[in-house]
Amino acid sequence: MLCGRFWRLVKPFQGEERGEEVVMPGAHLRAMREADAIAGLRRIDRLSLAIDSISHGLLELAWSTRCVCCELPHALLCRDCEEALPRIAAESACPRCGAPFGAVACTECWTADGQVPRPFASARCALEFNDASAKLILAYKDGGERALAPILARLLVEALEPELLESSDRLAYVPASSQALRRRGFDHMERIACEVSTLTRLERVDLLAANSRFDQRELSREERAENMAEAFELLEGIDELPRRVLLIDDVFTTGATLTAATEVLLAGGVERVDVGAICRVW
Ligand SMILES: [Zn+2]
Ligand SMILES: [Zn+2]
């Protein structure tokens, strides 16, 4: 597995789909059943963690670490860029959707028609989505900088109130679709969830599966909204669902993804879902 440093060096010579060049030959994947293929990709993703750490030292000699925001050497996110990130203060954020303005409810959660229904009990988002936070997320998801996982997890944890962490029974994450898993070779939120779990001691569980028929790219806006309702399903073989779940994702835009995932958990028997996201598009 090549590290992100290499991807950033070679990306001028690669197309948008450079992430396709990972993990398993397509013909072999097609020959496997869908579920087996996804399980295989996830196993390989975990193996790649070990390979990453071995290759890291060698690649560091050839291509030194650079800040994903400003390209200064020696750190993936330099101190100045980290301090300049647009953090969302809890005191001024909308408690229902994590938007940066609206300490009671923002203009997206409270319209002229009344309160916009959201199935999750609360939402916290760590950063406003701007150039810097977009670079961070993209470098991690699509630029191969997997070493950003602990940094992104820490930024998210810093935004989550201790009471929320204490009152949650388990940590769950929005899983990648099978298409995204193939394209990137790893489930970006699964890794973030592992890091968040380590930082908070909140136990991580795999609760959701992305529906393999779900692909938004070819759909119109209306079709996307309709399709989203079928985006997720509960993983098979779960004996007992936790009572209160903290569900995390990378970016909260309209909230449609987190809404769909939350509704599946609630329909399955989870009593309460709170959500957390690294970035809030506003
Ligand atoms: Zn920097
Ligand atoms: Zn809101």
Number of domains present in the structure of the chain: 1
Least distant ligand from the CA of 99: 2
Q: What percent of the chain has pLDDT over 70?
A: 76
Pairing state between β 170-173 and 244-252: parallel
Angstrom distance (rounded) from CA 196 to CA 150: 8
pLDDT digits (tens, 9 = 90+) for 21-72: 334 444 444 545 666 766 777 777 677 666 666 666 666 666 678 999 999 9
Task: Determine the distance separating the centroid of ligand 2 and the alpha carbon of 86, expressed in angstroms.
Answer: 18
Angstrom distance (rounded) from CA 26 to CA 179: 12
Task: Determine the distance separating the centroid of ligand 2 and the alpha carbon of 84, expressed in angstroms.
Answer: 24
Task: Determine the distance separating the centroid of ligand 2 and the alpha carbon of 93, expressed in angstroms.
Answer: 8
- Predicted confidence at residue 157, as pLDDT, reads 98
Residue ranges making up the domain that contains 101: 4-280
Q: pLDDT band at 113, cuts 50/70/90?
A: confident
Higher pLDDT, 35 or 270: 270
Angstrom distance (rounded) from CA 131 to CA 84: 11
Least distant ligand from the CA of 252: 2
Least distant ligand from the CA of 117: 2
Task: Determine the distance separating the centroid of ligand 2 and the alpha carbon of 182, expressed in angstroms.
Answer: 33
3-state secondary structure of 125: strand
Task: Determine the distance separating the centroid of ligand 2 and the alpha carbon of 147, expressed in angstroms.
Answer: 31
pLDDT digits (tens, 9 = 90+) for 114-147: 888 999 999 999 999 999 999 999 999 999 899 9
Task: Determine the distance separating the centroid of ligand 2 and the alpha carbon of 254, expressed in angstroms.
Answer: 10
Least distant ligand from the CA of 81: 1
Angstrom distance (rounded) from CA 188 to CA 141: 6
What does R_g of the chain's alpha carbons equal in angstroms? 19
Q: Do 194 and 157 touch, CB atoms closer than 8 A?
A: no
Least distant ligand from the CA of 70: 1
Residue 105 clears pLDDT 90, i.e. is over it: no
Task: Determine the distance separating the centroid of ligand 1 and the alpha carbon of 250, expressed in angstroms.
Answer: 21
Task: Determine the distance separating the centroid of ligand 2 and the alpha carbon of 252, expressed in angstroms.
Answer: 11
Residues, Cβ < 5 Å to ion ligand 2: 94, 96-97, 99, 106, 108-109
Average pLDDT, the chain: 84
Highest average pLDDT, of 5-9, 95-99, 212-216, 228-232, comes from 95-99
pLDDT digits (tens, 9 = 90+) for 195-231: 999 999 999 999 999 986 555 656 666 676 677 778 9
pTM of full prediction above 0.95 = no
Angstrom distance (rounded) from CA 6 to CA 223: 38
Where b means 16+ CB within 10 Å and e means fewer, 209-244 reads: bbbeebeeeeeeeeeeeebbeebbebeeeeeebbee
Higher pLDDT, 162 or 60: 162
In this prediction, residues 158-172 reach a mean pLDDT of 97
